[in-house]
């Protein structure tokens, strides 16, 4: 097939398609195209607004200071490794002065920006044995620590055997 034949064939197809395009169909296509353009325009506007709000947030959020480092602690249950939500973390200086009291989030995490130095973390949670850990904070870096707390509930000896006797399993 040469180019001249291909052009004639395309021209014929276009005329057949345009011949089927009635004024009613044209208005219907135009209406659908208009609706699609409105949807795309609205989504573009929403994305632009969200991007602008995020940029303003980043602009006004405090920049990390070079003389501070970030302490990140994760508090978990010793036996299961699950995060402990609502655990209390006291940050103390080496001379036992209280700097801050924090509470863990749903991931068992707390973060706090501190100046260069050593700090003691006093961790406690209801139903768990409390503990104290030392952390070294370095400017411009993250000091990460994971602490696992043991439950204050002592395992009941013979409970499994009693359960087997009662339930037969």
Looking at the DSSP bridge assignments, the partners of residue 71 are 112, 143
What pLDDT shows up at residue 63? Answer: 62
Structure tokens at 68: 């501070």
Region 115-128: mean pLDDT is 94
What pLDDT shows up at residue 164? Answer: 59
What pLDDT shows up at residue 19? Answer: 67
What pLDDT shows up at residue 136? Answer: 95
Q: Give the helix ranges, DSSP H, for 21-153.
A: 23-60
Region 163-169: mean pLDDT is 59
CB atoms within 10 A of CB 118: 10
Provide the whole-model pTM.
Answer: 0.54
First to last CA, the chain: 82
Q: Return the sign of the alpha-carbon dihedral for residues 124, 110, 92, 78.
A: positive
Lowest-confidence pick of 50-54, 129-133, 161-165: 161-165
Decide which of 45 and 153 is more confident: 45
Region 87-99: mean pLDDT is 94
CB atoms within 10 A of CB 43: 10
CA distance 87 to 112: 15
Looking at the DSSP bridge assignments, the partners of residue 76 are 83, 148
CA atoms within 13 A on the CB side of 154: 3
| DSSP-derived pairing of the beta strands 68-77 and 142-149 | parallel
What pLDDT shows up at residue 155? Answer: 58
The angle at the Cα of 168, spanning 162 to 169, to the nearest 5 degrees, equals 90
Q: DSSP secondary-structure letter at 151?
A: B
Lowest-confidence pick of 10-19, 86-95, 128-137: 10-19
CA distance 82 to 36: 47
Residue 86 pLDDT grade (very low, low, confident, very high; cuts 50, 70, 90):
very high
Q: Is the pLDDT of residue 14 over 80?
A: no
What pLDDT shows up at residue 151? Answer: 87
Distance of CA 107 to the CA centre of its chain: 10
């Amino acid at each position: 097939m040469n180019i001249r034949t291909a052009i004639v064939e395309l021209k014929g197809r276009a005329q057949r398609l345009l011949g089927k395009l009635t004024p009613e169909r044209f208005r219907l296509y135009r209406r659908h195209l208009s609706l699609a353009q409105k949807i795309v325009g609205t989504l573009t506007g929403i994305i632009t607004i969200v991007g602008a709000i995020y940029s303003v947030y980043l602009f006004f959020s405090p920049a990390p200071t070079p003389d501070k480092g970030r302490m990140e602690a994760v508090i978990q249950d010793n036996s299961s490794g699950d995060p402990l939500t609502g655990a209390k973390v006291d940050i103390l200086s080496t001379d036992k002065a209280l700097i801050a009291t924090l509470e863990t989030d749903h991931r068992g995490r707390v973060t706090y920006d501190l100046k260069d130095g050593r700090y003691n973390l006093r961790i406690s949670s209801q139903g768990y044995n409390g503990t104290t850990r030392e952390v070294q904070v370095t400017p411009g870096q993250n000091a990460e620590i994971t602490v696992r707390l043991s439950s204050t509930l002592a395992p009941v000896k013979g409970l499994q055997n009693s359960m087997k006797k009662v339930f037969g399993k």
